[in-house]
């Protein structure tokens, strides 16, 4: 595709996005939250762990079996080995 056609396609796409969504709307916020919840659930359903910071600022790893753990990130460690489990979080502590 010539550069000019690629530029036109990108411009049309961006214009369409701007017209379709009001990024400061409650509707957009709700859609982003729903997409995040869906991705979270799909990741756990695939048997993978999800890492996040909870409402109290704790680094959490949640496993597919619903167990949650407080973790500490290990700088400069290899991917997959870059955290350590501090403790399992109970339903009350999570």
Domain ranges of the chain: 1-46, 49-94
For range 11-32, the mean pLDDT: 70
The DSSP 8-state label assigned to residue 25 in this structure reads: S
The predicted-structure confidence for 59-87, as pLDDT tens digits, reads as follows 999 999 999 999 999 999 999 899 999 99
Dihedral over Cα of 59, 62, 66, 67: its sign = negative
Residue the block writes with tokens 């870059």 = 82
Tally of CA atoms within 13 A in the half-sphere of 4 that contains its CB = 0
* 55, pLDDT greater than 60: yes
- Cβ neighbourhood burial of 50 (10 Å; 0-12, 13-18, 19+): middle
pTM, to two decimals: 0.66
Quote the CA–CA distance of 51 and 60 in Å, as a whole number: 6
For range 5-31, the mean pLDDT: 65
* 10, pLDDT greater than 90: no
């Amino acid at each position: 595709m010539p550069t000019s056609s690629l530029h036109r396609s990108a411009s049309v796409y961006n214009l369409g996005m701007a017209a379709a969504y009001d990024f400061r709307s409650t509707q957009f916020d709700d859609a982003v939250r729903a997409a995040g919840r869906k991705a979270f659930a799909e990741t756990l359903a695939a048997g993978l762990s999800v890492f996040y910071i909870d409402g109290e600022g704790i680094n959490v790893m949640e496993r597919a079996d619903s167990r949650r753990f407080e973790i500490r990130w290990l700088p400069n460690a290899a991917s997959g080995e870059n955290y350590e489990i501090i403790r399992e979080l109970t339903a009350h502590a999570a």
